[in-house]
């Protein structure tokens, strides 16, 4: 067994004086390799993610800041959507009046609705675009 290395400390006489005045044996706060536990833990085995690949690893595809878009005025979008819907209904009525055909199914045509009385939560398949959503959800833990 190799000799024990000398640790940094005060001289022997001063060490005994210090222990006498402390009333106990002084334990130094310094850490030395032979006084601490050995490192038996293996290095971590972390799986590689999409950022470690050599190809198809472009920064702009992983940057969540690029997904942020300017804010949308929902009231203005709703008004534009209603105006487009009314314009489409008027065009359909004009086309029907021009051709003088009865509506499909033989049922009489429904009277036109007032745009203020329409419920904005009733979505019909009228071809009008839906209001935009804020964007994609970003996962800070990486892709799943």
CA–CA dist 133, 72 (Å, integer): 9
Tens of pLDDT, residue by residue over 48-78, are 877 777 777 777 777 777 778 888 888 898 9
pLDDT in the model for residue 111: 56
Distance (Å) of CA 37 to CA 7, 40, 48 = 17, 9, 31
The position carrying tokens 């959800």 is: 137
pLDDT of 21: 96
pLDDT 10s digits, 104-144? 555 555 555 555 444 444 445 556 667 667 777 777 787 76
Enumerate residues 6+ apart whose C-beta is below 8 A from 62: 50, 51
pLDDT, averaged across the chain: 77
């Amino acid at each position: 067994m190799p000799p024990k290395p000398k640790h940094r400390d005060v001289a022997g006489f001063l060490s005994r004086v210090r222990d006498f005045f402390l009333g106990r044996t002084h334990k130094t706060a310094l850490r030395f390799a032979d006084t601490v536990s050995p490192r038996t833990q293996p290095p971590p085995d972390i799986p590689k993610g999409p950022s470690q690949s050599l190809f198809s690893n472009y920064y702009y595809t992983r940057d969540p800041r690029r997904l942020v878009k300017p804010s949308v005025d929902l009231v203005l979008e709703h008004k534009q959507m209603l105006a487009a819907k009314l314009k489409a209904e008027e065009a359909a009525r004009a086309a029907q009046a021009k051709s003088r055909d009865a509506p499909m199914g033989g049922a009489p045509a429904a009277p036109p609705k007032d745009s203020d009385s329409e419920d904005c939560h009733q979505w019909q398949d009228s071809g009008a675009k839906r209001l935009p959503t804020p964007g994609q959800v970003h996962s800070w833990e990486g892709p799943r």
